[in-house]
Amino acid sequence: MVTEGKEAEVEELKDKFERAEGVVLSNYRGISANDMVELRESFTKEGIEYRVVKNTLASIAAEEAGLEGLPELLDGPIAVAVGFDDPVLPFKITKDTAEKYDDFSTKGGVIEGDMVAPDEIEAISKLSSKEELLANLAAGLKSPVRKLAVVLKAKVKDLTVALDQVRKAKEE
């Protein structure tokens, strides 16, 4: 029989999975309790929720949230890093953590609804943040418009000079 506490945890995980931009599963076996506290703090400082989950409950929540493929990764002791604002950030922090702790490993994840294999996590972690990518796009779009404005301003100035010369010629 399912307890209310487990149902509540499934609902909470489901809600987080549905709202998440990026989710990374990791194996924390071999990490000491003190290191785990430090690890959680480093994730939280960056705005990423990091918590140990029960595989069965996380599997049910993932299926209900429509994250196909995620339940297959839930094997052994699992912790979940969930990012709500930047889809790349949980991958960056998880990769950095894996480099810091030998016993820590990534199992895969989800970025904006798409499954990510463990070998793809490093490539994703090297991406710029969503804000940086949008800023680069805006700068790229702004540049041609600015050049057009400069050219048009120069043409208007040339036209003004030409009209002024015509006016002076008529006055003479």
Residue 1, pLDDT score: 42
Q: How sure is the predictor about 2, in pLDDT bands with cuts at 50, 70 and 90?
A: low
| Backbone conformation region of residue 101, classed left if phi is above 0, alpha if psi is from -120 to 50, else beta | beta
Alpha-carbon distances of 93 from 70, 73, 138, 160, rounded to whole Å: 20, 19, 26, 58
More confident residue, 2 or 162: 162
Report how far apart, in Å, the C-alpha atoms of 44 and of each of 4, 40, 98 are: 27, 6, 16
Question: Per-residue pLDDT tens for 94-135?
Answer: 888 888 888 888 888 888 778 888 888 787 877 777 777 777
Q: What average pLDDT does the segment 34-63 reach?
A: 90
CA proximity to 113, closest of 10, 11, 48, 19: 19
156-163 contacts at long range (C-beta below 8 A, 24 or more positions apart): none
